[in-house]
Amino acid sequence: MALFEIFDPKAAPRPIGIDLGTTNSLVAYVKDGRPEVIADCNADRLLPSVVFYDEHGGAVVGRAAQARAAESPRETIVSVKRCMGKGGDDPETRRLGPYAFAPPAEGEANVVRFDVRGRRLTPVEVSADILRALKQLAEDELRSVGPAVITVPAYFDDAQRQATKDAGRLAGLDVLRLLNEPTAAALAYGLDKKKDGTFCVYDLGGGTFDVTVLLLEDGVFQVKSTGGDSALGGDDMDRAVAEEIFRVADLPPERRTPAIIRAVLDTSRALKHQLTEREAASAPSPLGVGPAELTLARSRFDELIAPILERTGVACRRAMKDAGLRGEALDGVILVGGATRVPAVRAYVKKLFGKEPLADIDPDAVVAMGAALQAHLLAGEGHKDEVLLLDVLPLSLGIEVGGGVVDKILPRNTTIPTGARATYTTQEDNQTGFQIHVVQGERELVADCRSLARFTLKGIPPMAAGMARLEVRFDVDADGILSVTAKETTTGLEQHVEVVPSYGLDDDAIEAMLLDALDHGEEDLEKRRLAEGQVEAHRMVLATRKGLAADAELLAPGERELIAAAVAALEEAAAGASAAAIQSRISDLDHATRAFAERRMNAAIAKATLGQRLDAVEKTVEHAKGIDLAHAEGTRAVG
């Protein structure tokens, strides 16, 4: 006989962990010290991440919404996670999908907006409806729900993380933290198995792929490296099968209506699920043309998804290289995400790492379980010394300096939360402000990186070039969200911004950033040297001309002509494309102006120290060093 569970109305709200997935979502909590995924009244733990909007504006979430997708494809939003933080013109939002999209109104941010029955819905709003359904499911089980930890792909950028956090708040959740999905999986796996060692988490979900190398040691979960693709997953397998169905039926794109596309995608997913257990799959054709029965052999399916698996392999090999490890050095490979149930995926992972992957914990549930454990600890209900999570930045963060060059302040794979600072100066006389341009990526030039934010620090008193000092500090919190502080040290002027981009990266943009950095490494370094040389050449020419105008009487006979020739040669080199030539001409100008610069410094010191005390003289000497602008310190200049 089953026992009734007695509910205490005075019990404190229970913290929850949420896996907000592309295909399915789950919610879990800690019961008697162990994580437990909450099931609905049909004993189903997976809530399909599907939302149907009816004619009255109501939202239906889950399997009931899934059932409406074929007949109402434009009113049923599927895989919305792939649109989180994306721009309205992002190609990911246009790939083999039946949706109608609304352009941004004047003054609105360029984010994805679904046009549903005249409503303009953003991915944040759709995700909030999914989170509300999960919250309601938890309240049905726990009566009172406390703060939440929501998981995100490790490769989500700032915009995608902010969008997820906003969706949680819109759903009425107190979001304690965003937790990277591979770290959550390792947390659940490590605490459940009580194992230490170095593990690789291979996380292939419905719409995102992450690979993370972690060291689990005495309760410390340290991320050694991370990689992946924020637009790669089981959905791409469905699309590959759908394209095969369209090819076999010879149905051109202009005849693929939204209803047909939705029906073919659903059929493709059903065939994929069958092939997890069978060597061949079949389903009725939804097309009305071609064969009435669709059949697909596992061998053909494996061929279709082979390019997808190879893309995951590229990220895995790079993550292992970043961690300084080979496959044999791993203690295990943990499979996470529903797409890892596909036999070809497991075979590929085994071949890639040279060992059988670990999949004895449900790959669909393990992320939610880890999130529940972390929520339990952060809410103070566990022992905080039980576990320490150390995540890392997936991409470098920096600012633009003179010549369009990126100065990296926080390199990728830096453990978070973290902070770092750097000091910069002006490049023009009487410059009264700094333009701060924050960028993300691995390339050397700003044009090849992702722009995150721009702002201006104004009100700096006019000074000679190189005299002002700007201190820029980057701080990244435990959620991986960046804030920037800029302070001019001589005046104390300060500005602080939390970097909130209006939309996220393009399809494969993060992956492309890293691959481009590898493919164009030498080329980028040469471009950087050229840009930096041109900036230095411009500074030296201005400083030299300023010195000639101010102290012409100190010139030796014939010296002006010699210096003028060196300046002309440097300007000619700076207009070219050879960094080596610019450096050579900078050295020539340095040599030509050295004696003149020394006479200027001596004259300035003699004039300033006449009749002064020794301590005052020392300060004057330090200040006089600034006169020798041709030999000034190498503080980077910001516009």
- Predicted local distance difference test score (pLDDT) of residue 531: 67
* CB contact set of 421 (below 8 Å; sequence gap of 6+): 409, 471, 472, 473, 474
- Predicted local distance difference test score (pLDDT) of residue 515: 58
pLDDT(74) > 70: yes
- Predicted local distance difference test score (pLDDT) of residue 110: 73
* CB contact set of 522 (below 8 Å; sequence gap of 6+): none
Write out pLDDT tens, residues 525-569: 676 677 677 878 888 888 888 888 888 888 888 888 899 999 999
Answer yes or no: is 35 within a domain. Answer: yes
- Predicted local distance difference test score (pLDDT) of residue 503: 39
Would you say the C-alpha torsion 130, 416, 512, 354 has a positive or negative sign? negative
- Predicted local distance difference test score (pLDDT) of residue 617: 53
For residues 503 and 579, membership in a common domain is answered with: no
Final residue before a domain boundary, out of 324, 353, 383: 383
Task: Select which of 181, 448, 507, 532 is catalytic.
Answer: 181
Write out pLDDT tens, residues 316-341: 998 899 888 877 788 889 898 889 99
More reliable by pLDDT, 290 or 355 = 355
Task: Select which of 81, 86, 135, 487 is catalytic.
Answer: 81
Res. 185 pLDDT band, cuts 50 70 90: confident
For residues 48 and 90, membership in a common domain is answered with: yes
Measure the CA–CA gap between 268 and 245, rounded to whole angstroms: 8
The region, left, alpha or beta by phi > 0 then psi within -120 to 50, assigned to residue 52 is beta
- Predicted local distance difference test score (pLDDT) of residue 505: 36
For residues 557 and 488, membership in a common domain is answered with: no
* CB contact set of 632 (below 8 Å; sequence gap of 6+): 466, 539, 543, 626
- Predicted local distance difference test score (pLDDT) of residue 139: 92
The percent of residues in the chain predicted with pLDDT above 90, rounded, is 22
Answer yes or no: is 239 within a domain. Answer: no
The region, left, alpha or beta by phi > 0 then psi within -120 to 50, assigned to residue 57 is left
Whether 598 is catalytic is no
Task: Select which of 129, 141, 203, 442 is catalytic.
Answer: 203
Domain that holds residue 418: 397-507+630-637
Which amino acid appears at position 96 of this protein?
L
Measure the CA–CA gap between 76 and 69, rounded to whole angstroms: 5
What CATH number does residue 592 fall under?
A: 1.20.1270.10
Measure the CA–CA gap between 334 and 48, rounded to whole angstroms: 24
Res. 368 pLDDT band, cuts 50 70 90: very high
Q: What is the pTM of this model?
A: 0.61
Res. 493 pLDDT band, cuts 50 70 90: confident
For residues 16 and 48, membership in a common domain is answered with: yes
The percent of residues in the chain predicted with pLDDT above 70, rounded, is 83
* CB contact set of 390 (below 8 Å; sequence gap of 6+): 220, 221, 222, 223, 415, 416
pLDDT(377) > 60: yes
Token pair for 85: 């933080």
Answer yes or no: is 293 within a domain. Answer: no
Token pair for 436: 């701060």
Answer yes or no: is 331 within a domain. Answer: no
Among 271-285, 367-381, 493-507, the range scoring the smallest mean pLDDT is 493-507
Answer yes or no: is 50 within a domain. Answer: yes
For residues 523 and 478, membership in a common domain is answered with: no
For residues 603 and 487, membership in a common domain is answered with: no
Among 291-295, 309-313, 558-562, the range scoring the smallest mean pLDDT is 291-295
For residues 565 and 499, membership in a common domain is answered with: no
pLDDT(16) > 80: yes
Q: Across the chain, what does the average pLDDT equal?
A: 81
Res. 518 pLDDT band, cuts 50 70 90: low
More reliable by pLDDT, 367 or 519 = 367
CA dihedral 318, 320, 322, 325 (to 10 degrees): -150
Residue located via tokens 């804030």? 483
Task: Select which of 19, 364, 442, 475 is catalytic.
Answer: 19
Measure the CA–CA gap between 589 and 569, rounded to whole angstroms: 9
Which amino acid appears at position 391 of this protein?
D
Res. 628 pLDDT band, cuts 50 70 90: very low
Whether 391 is catalytic is no
For residues 453 and 541, membership in a common domain is answered with: no
What is the pLDDT averaged over residues 422-426? 83
For residues 161 and 21, membership in a common domain is answered with: yes
What CATH number does residue 9 fall under?
A: 3.30.420.40
Q: Which of 68-77, 363-372, 474-483, 532-541 has the highest mean pLDDT?
A: 363-372
Final residue before a domain boundary, out of 358, 383, 408: 383
177: helix, strand or coil:
strand
More reliable by pLDDT, 427 or 239 = 239
Whether 590 is catalytic is no
For residues 154 and 19, membership in a common domain is answered with: yes
More reliable by pLDDT, 512 or 573 = 573
- Predicted local distance difference test score (pLDDT) of residue 513: 41
Measure the CA–CA gap between 1 and 366, rounded to whole angstroms: 31
What is the pLDDT averaged over residues 360-378? 89
What CATH number does residue 488 fall under?
A: 2.60.34.10
For residues 447 and 575, membership in a common domain is answered with: no
The three-state DSSP-derived secondary structure of 17-76 is EEECCCCEEEEEEEECCEEEECCCCCCCCCEECEEEECCCCCEEECHHHHCCCCCCCCCE
Answer yes or no: is 15 within a domain. Answer: yes
For residues 59 and 183, membership in a common domain is answered with: yes
Answer yes or no: is 312 within a domain. Answer: no
- Predicted local distance difference test score (pLDDT) of residue 302: 95
Among 309-313, 518-522, 564-568, 574-578, the range scoring the smallest mean pLDDT is 518-522
Whether 81 is catalytic is yes
Res. 3 pLDDT band, cuts 50 70 90: very low
CB 204 within 8 A of CB 337: yes
Answer yes or no: is 616 within a domain. Answer: no
Res. 631 pLDDT band, cuts 50 70 90: very low
Report the Cα 612 to chain-centroid distance in Å.
Answer: 58
Token pair for 457: 């620090």
Number of domains in the chain: 3
- Predicted local distance difference test score (pLDDT) of residue 612: 62
Res. 624 pLDDT band, cuts 50 70 90: very low
What is the pLDDT averaged over residues 170-183? 88
Write out pLDDT tens, residues 92-150: 666 546 788 888 777 666 778 888 888 888 898 999 999 999 999 999 999 889 999 99
Among 159-163, 335-339, 454-458, the range scoring the smallest mean pLDDT is 454-458
Among 206-215, 266-275, 562-571, the range scoring the smallest mean pLDDT is 206-215
